[in-house]
Chain A
Amino acid sequence: MWAIVVMLIGALIAAEELPDLIRGKRRGDIWLFAALLLAGTGLGVAQSLRVEIPNPLDAISFVFAPVGKFLEALFM
């Protein structure tokens, strides 16, 4: 159910923004908008279908957690 709602919202956003964008005739703008909207809708649908979405903090932690631990060891 929620997946449909998400797609509907995506369509609404497109209907809201696209006419102005197309009138602006700037291809870059339209492409970036479309890419972001697709990403947003895709993620939204995935989330509502309870698909595991990789956690960005894990990647950051992988790099920076050792630094943090090192700092802690340094000061404590």
Chain B
Amino acid sequence: MIEKGKISLVQLNILVMLFSLGSAILIVPSALSSVARQDGWISAVIGVALGAGIVQMLVILDRQHPGQSLVESCETILGSFAGKLVGMLYFMFFFLLASLVLRNIGDFITTIVMPETPIQAIHVLFLVIIVMGVRLGLEVIGRASEIFLPWIVVLILVLVFFIIPQIDIDRVQPVFEMGMNKIMYGSLSILGIPYFELVVFLMILPYVNKRQKAGKAFLAGSLLGGFVLILITCLSITVLGWDFTARHAFPSYTLAKKIRIGEFLQRIEVMMAVIWFLTIFFKLTLCFYASALAIAQVFKLSSYRPLVLPLGMIMLVMSLVVYPNIVYFREFSSHTWTPFAFVFGFAFPFMLLLLSKAKKAVGK
């Protein structure tokens, strides 16, 4: 085993939830309402329901080869060469995902929080803690998630509580105006971010205590995350209105800006930023961890740890060149990412599942 630590079911649950919130909590409302307009929240609900199905499929795939990570079971199912090839593709997928997420946070900070700071400095600083977390291993990441969860929950609750007075329920009307087609199409974006990305957890599931219940914890975590996403989408639409939500790159941050209780309690959007830093930290760390573990398993290394620092260097460059500007990224995330993530988050796992079932059937 390359990773010796184990995480508990609770930790898995928390990690899945934080991962699903990751960059999604800022991006998803905008993507949803730009397609489905005021019906964006329906898209979110449908997306989460479909997402639960995907997670269930991933769990079944994981059960086929207990104790093996995605990359290892690829080799078992596809044989050495094809297995390694798919394993490398997954490494690239995880790595690209991590780079994109890192760039997201760089963009967010340089456009909204601290415009004067060079983006490289922010990437380097954030990478330092990512590398630190990945080198310390899964156990430490799991424990850190337990420390931070209460903060995140409290901040979300405060946010929701204080924004309630601003809700204008008329903004969701007319319901179903856009028709089922557009609503379905909108839900694809929430599938792309974060549900197809949850395939990352197939690298982590083998290191969970009480494996029989791991599937349930995985599903519960993704549903919890989905619930928060639905909530934030609803709030964005009812408070900001769909057009504003769609036009804005980070609507939930703007949402937090709207909070104003009396003269003193205002401009507490920094809470939203804190939630985001924390959730994205875990998402990024898990992606990076999964990619380091994937490449180490493909090449049958004894430990993934020596690779973390070089991979960090590559990621720094990658995150800077991965897209030229935010317009390019919005175009990419709305049109290209979902089908791309679909291949890795659904098509490959489903194919692996079928092959594995077939192999077992033949074997009998």
- Assess whether B306 is in contact with A69, with CB atoms less than 8 Å apart: no
- In the complex, which of the residues A13, A26, A56, A65 contacts B96, with contact meaning CB atoms closer than 8 Å? A56
B352: chain A residues within 8 A (beta carbon):
none
- Assess whether B322 is in contact with A32, with CB atoms less than 8 Å apart: no
Does A4 belong to the interface (CB within 8 Å)?
A: no
A6: chain B residues within 8 A (beta carbon):
313
B288-330 interface code vs A (CB 8 A; 1 in, 0 out): 0000000100011111001101111110111011111000100
- Assess whether A71 is in contact with B340, with CB atoms less than 8 Å apart: no
A9: chain B residues within 8 A (beta carbon):
313
Q: How many residues belonging to B are interface residues under a CB distance threshold of 8 Å?
A: 36
B165-184 interface code vs A (CB 8 A; 1 in, 0 out): 00000000000000001101
Pick from B302, B313, B314, B334 the residue with the most CB of A within 10 Å: B313
- Assess whether A57 is in contact with B323, with CB atoms less than 8 Å apart: yes
Residue ranges of A at the interface with B (Cβ–Cβ < 8 Å)? 6, 9-10, 13, 16-17, 20-21, 24, 26, 28-29, 32-33, 36-37, 39-41, 43-44, 46-47, 53, 55-57, 60-61, 63-65, 67-69, 71-72, 75-76
28 pairs, A vs B, C-beta closer than 8 Å: A6-B313, A13-B309, A16-B309, A17-B306, A24-B302, A26-B302, A28-B299, A32-B299, A32-B307, A33-B307, A33-B310, A39-B314, A40-B311, A43-B317, A43-B318, A55-B322, A56-B322, A64-B336, A65-B335, A65-B336, A67-B336, A68-B336, A69-B335, A71-B338, A71-B339, A72-B185, A72-B335, A75-B184
